[in-house]
Amino acid sequence: MLDKGRLPRHVAIIMDGNGRWAKKQGLSRVKGHNAGMEAMKEIVRASSDLGIQYLTVYAFSTENWKRSQEEVSGIFGLLVKFVKLDLRELDEKNVRVKVLGDYSVIPAAAKKSMDETLETTKDNTGLQFNIALNYGSRAEILRAVNRIQADSLAGKRQGPVDEAEFARYLYTGDENGNVPDPDLIIRTSGEERLSNFLLWQAAYSEFVFTDVLWPDFTPEVYESLLEEYQRRDRRFGGRK
């Protein structure tokens, strides 16, 4: 049974397997992403209903530009559809949406919808829903280094950088309300790797992998993985 008093504060999900799901059904990859978007909607809703404070989803990586133009524009088109259609529900549920990653370069229509969503939901105080979009952890770390250097040269900061200050320069830092490190990272579709996701932030995260392909991921599967998390013994290098 899920103990609602011991939920992870921050869950991060690598939503993988849309393409394989589509192939199994004899559908196009974009149809797979559409089904994945529906699954994501349910998981945002479930996270909000459970009272989880932060949910981060890996929606598009800095490496995903290598895919066909048709697939890439399909993914961004679906994103526009999601934020437009579901903005009202997100807002009613008091969800605050944030983007992790450089989304200034995504197609203009998708950027405009995202900007509207961020603006509409910015003062909400419920679940913080982070969408990792054109996100890559190495790019994020280098960006932090370069921003620290720029601030040092401008005289805005000085001296050696410590972990807490470094973290504030990441996408999960000041600009998005200082997101706590993920307690739990879930990856679907049977792959067991990070694929350039939250390398700094995952230092002490628990990992749960499932063979379920992302479009088949339901709130029931989600709850069973949260139960798995609750069976883990987190030690953070200490002894108990």
Among positions 74-93, residues that touch ligand IPE (CB under 6 A) are 75
Instruction: Mark 85-113 as b/e (b = at least 16 C-beta within 10 Å).
Output: ebbeebbebebbbbbbbbbeebeeebbeb
Query: Can you read off the two tokens belonging to residue 109?
Result: 């229509």
Per CB under 6 A, does 140 bind ligand IPE? no
Active site residue 16: yes
Q: How far is the CB of 61 from ligand IPE (least distance, A)?
A: 4
**Partner in contact with 7, chosen from ligand IPE, Mg ion, none, beta carbon below 5 to 8 Å by kind:** none
Rounded Cα distance, 95 and 19, in Å? 29
Asked if residue 119 binds ligand IPE (CB under 6 A), the reply is no
CA distances from 172 to 22, 92, 189, 194, 198 (A): 32, 24, 26, 17, 9
CB-nearer residue toward Mg ion: 18 or 176 = 18
Contact 13, 2 (CB under 8 A): no
Question: Contact letters (x/-) for ligand IPE, 15-54, by CB under 6 A?
Answer: xxxxxx----------------------------------
Applying the rule CB under 6 A, the residues between 164 and 203 that interact with ligand IPE are: 189, 191, 193, 195
Helix (H, G, I), strand (E, B) or coil at 96: strand
Radius of gyration of the chain (CA): 18
The reply to whether 55 sits near ligand IPE by the rule CB under 6 A is: no
Toward ligand IPE, which CB reaches closer, 61 or 113?
A: 61
Q: Which of 3, 34, 49, 64 is catalytic?
A: 64
Tell me the C-alpha distance between 18 and 213, whole Å. 7
Query: Which member of 3, 16, 18, 181 is catalytic?
Result: 16
Q: Which residues bind ligand IPE (CB under 6 A)?
A: 14-20, 58-61, 64, 75, 189, 191, 193, 195
